[in-house]
Structure formats: C-alpha cells, structure tokens
C-alpha cells in the first residue's frame, strides 16, 4: 500500500483556472426537496434585524463546546489567509502559465510579521495577506528556512489591525491532549477543526535535499490543502505548533497531520527576521529514541561531528558459520552497543525537541558537552559541532 506525505498548502499545483473552478464547484446550501426550511419560533419583537445574527445566545453548551468557542474567539483574528501568484515559463514551448496558491499564517507582532510555511510562498512572484477584518495587504518575504519549512513575511498594516498570537510551550505536550487547527482549507477562510495530539517525535523528509524534519507533532485534527502555515493551538488558545503536512493516499485529509513544534519556531523566527536565514549547528546524529532516562542513539552520520567524537549508535554484528558444505551469514543489531545521551551542557534531555534546542543554541564550530551512558558507565564527551 502506498502512502504519501502532502505539504498542505494549495500551491503551484493549482492554476488560476483550476482555483476558480474549486470555488465554482462548491454547491449552494439548500434544504432537500422533502424538507421544509425551519421556522423561526422566536417572537417577532425579539428577532434580530439581521437574520444571520442569533437573537439569543446559545444555551446548554457542553464544556467541550465552550472550550471550542473560546479557542476560536481568542485565536481567530490572529490567523491570516495567504494567496500567492506565480508565473512559470516553458522554454521549450515558448509558453508561460500562471499559477495560484493558498495557505494560512499567523500574526507574530504589531510590526506586521507573518509566520507561514516556506512551501506556501516558495517561487511566488506575488503574495497577498488577508486579515480577519477582510483587508488585504501585499507581503514581502523577509526570512526563510527550507529545512524546517518556515517563512516570515512582512506586511505594512496598521498596528490596530494586527492581533499577535499567544505562544505556548511545545516541550511538555502529551499524547491525547486536545488541540485545534485554524486555517484556510480549500479557500474556506478561518476554518476550525479539532482533534488530539496523536503522537510526538515524528520525522518527515524535508523539502531541503537530504534533510529531515524532526520531532514533529502528529495530530488527527483535520487538515487539507490550504491549512499549511496555520496554527495548532491548545485549549488555552496558545500556539503549540504550525501545521505543515498530511499523510494521505488521496491528497486530502486522512486523519494524520503534522505540525512544527512552537519552541523550535520561536528560536528561529528572531534569526530569520534579523538575518533572512537560519544557520543551525549540526551534531551529526541521524536518529535517536526517547526514554525516561535520556536519548538512545540509533545512528550517527558517518564522518560527522558525533562520529568523530566517538559517539556510538546501534551496531550491525555479522556472524558466519558453516554447515556441511554450505556457508551461512547471520546478521543482528547490537543495541547494547548504543550510547544514551543523558544531558547536553549539564542540562538533562529526555525529548528530541529539548535536545535540538540545546544543540541549536550553539553556533557551528562550538563545543557541545555531552553526558552519556555507555555500557552502564557514565561518561563525558565533547563534540565540535558542524554547520547545517
């Protein structure tokens, strides 16, 4: 069975004509022929002059409904819609075609900085940001990181029209806790979906070649094309992640979505705004496993910083033996050979997110001091970091 990962921005795959057809294909909402429209039983004197506005606030809401409403009302105006336009040239046929894309974003500050995914705005010649007020502004790209699929835009909007998001802490998330996604799926602006944290510490191939997006949040909150760049929120309407991709076989939501942790974004955004790019320190560890004591090293990058410092991962053990005239080869993985990382710079680590945070607090060529456990014995190891 094939399984794919789709970055959930509705980008250059949509031509202008196709984008318009999406809107045209949405059916108008009608009552079935056998069903009469509901009759407003509210006394005439109490009815609202605007029939779209409820005359009486809803009653008997469950605690879950109240939480949903609270999150939406707190975070809705901090979410923006992003529309892009790009022109592609075919040198062979001497033709050019125009493509449109849609995505979502979050307001970072009163200066007009907007957070979204890099793949939402990649190769776009024009980027427009629409606020909850309905006002649209032209945006400029001020910083990008292809590896973690993060981009920061800038719009020239009045401070009074900008409502920055409130940040949460992604380092203490638990599988099963409730989360909310707000975005622009298929162009339906400011749509709320709910779900739970389905898993943590997921990895996906990065859009940057030979790179991996690590320690992602997995959720079953519905995401579809257009949700990319929108916030993933906790029950207090705080941002704990940015929606980035879905796992799917059909290109639409299948209950498996992924988000970039908020703590990583908060580390990177100031650098992206100031420098336009993010150069991260690289320790040369390809994969680890989380345990209550620390991180078990599965694999180090051959010739990388950790390998040169002597850090050990799993080892393949090959044993050959003969039976009669036939030679056999037996392979097994020696897990006892792997080191466990207990701390970085004297700070304990139990999650990949915390480990990356401590490593990326360094600059390339600096020394990261690791405390490790090898064959039951605690050791200290200095690793000279590379650059990514």
**What are the residue numbers of the active site?**
119, 149, 228
The answer for residues whose C-beta is within 8 angstroms of residue 144's C-beta and 6 or more apart is 118, 150, 151, 152, 272, 276, 277
Nearest CA to 197 out of 258, 106, 247, 149 is that of 258
CB 168 within 8 A of CB 240: yes
> What residues form DSSP beta bridges with 88?
97
Q: How far apart are CA 296 and CA 314, in angstroms?
A: 9
Put residue 124 in one of left, alpha, beta given phi > 0 → left and psi -120 to 50 → alpha: beta
| Token couple for 147 | 């590896």
Interior CA angle at 105 toward 227 and 263, to 5°?
Answer: 100
Q: At what angle do helices 352-360 and 262-275 cross, to 10 degrees?
A: 20
Both tokens of residue 348?
């304990």
For 47-105, the DSSP string reads: S-SSTTS-SS---S--HHHHHHHHHHHHHGGGEEEEEEEEEEEETTTTEEEEEEEEEEE
Reduced to 3 states (helix: H, G, I; strand: E, B; else coil), residue 168 is coil
3-class state of residue 118 by DSSP = helix
Distances (CA, A) of 381 to 109, 204, 356, 369, 385: 41, 29, 17, 6, 12
CA gap 320, 253 in Å, rounded = 48
């Amino acid at each position: 069975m094939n399984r794919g990962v789709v970055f959930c921005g509705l980008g250059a795959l949509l031509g202008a004509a196709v984008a318009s057809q999406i809107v045209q294909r949405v059916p108008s909402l009608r009552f079935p022929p056998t069903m009469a429209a509901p009759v407003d039983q509210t006394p005439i004197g109490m009815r609202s002059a605007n029939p779209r506005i409820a005359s009486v606030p809803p009653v008997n809401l469950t605690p879950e409904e109240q939480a949903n409403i609270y999150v939406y009302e707190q975070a809705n105006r901090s979410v923006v819609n992003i529309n892009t336009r790009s022109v592609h040239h075919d040198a062979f046929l001497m033709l050019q075609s125009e493509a449109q894309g849609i995505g979502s974003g979050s307001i970072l500050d009163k200066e007009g900085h907007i957070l979204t995914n890099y793949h939402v705005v990649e190769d776009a010649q024009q980027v427009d940001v629409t606020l909850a007020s309905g006002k649209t502004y032209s945006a400029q790209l001020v910083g990008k990181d292809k590896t973690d699929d993060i981009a920061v835009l800038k719009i020239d909007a009045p401070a009074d029209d900008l409502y920055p998001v409130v940040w949460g802490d992604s380092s203490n998330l638990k599988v099963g806790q409730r989360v909310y996604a707000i975005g622009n799926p298929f162009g339906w602006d400011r749509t709320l979906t709910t779900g739970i944290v389905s898993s943590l510490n997921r990895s996906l191939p990065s859009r940057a070649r030979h790179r991996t997006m690590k320690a992602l949040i997995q959720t079953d909150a519905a995401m579809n094309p257009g949700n990319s760049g929108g916030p993933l929120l906790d029950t207090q309407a705080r941002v704990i992640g940015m929606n980035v991709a879905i796992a799917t076989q059909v290109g639409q939501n299948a209950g498996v979505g992924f988000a970039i942790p908020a703590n990583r974004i908060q580390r990177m955004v100031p650098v992206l705004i100031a420098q336009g790019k993010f150069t991260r320190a690289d320790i040369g560890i390809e994969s680890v496993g989380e345990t209550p004591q620390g991180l078990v090293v599965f694999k180090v990058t051959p010739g990388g910083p950790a390998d040169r410092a002597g850090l050990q991962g799993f080892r393949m053990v090959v044993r050959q033996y003969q039976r009669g005239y036939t030679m056999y080869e037996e392979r097994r993985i020696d897990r006892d050979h792997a080191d466990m990382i207990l701390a970085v710079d004297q700070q304990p680590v139990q999650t990949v997110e915390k480990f990356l945070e401590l490593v990326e607090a360094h600059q390339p060529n600096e020394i990261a001091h690791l405390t490790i456990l090898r064959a039951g014995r605690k050791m200290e190891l200095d690793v000279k970091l590379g650059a990514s």
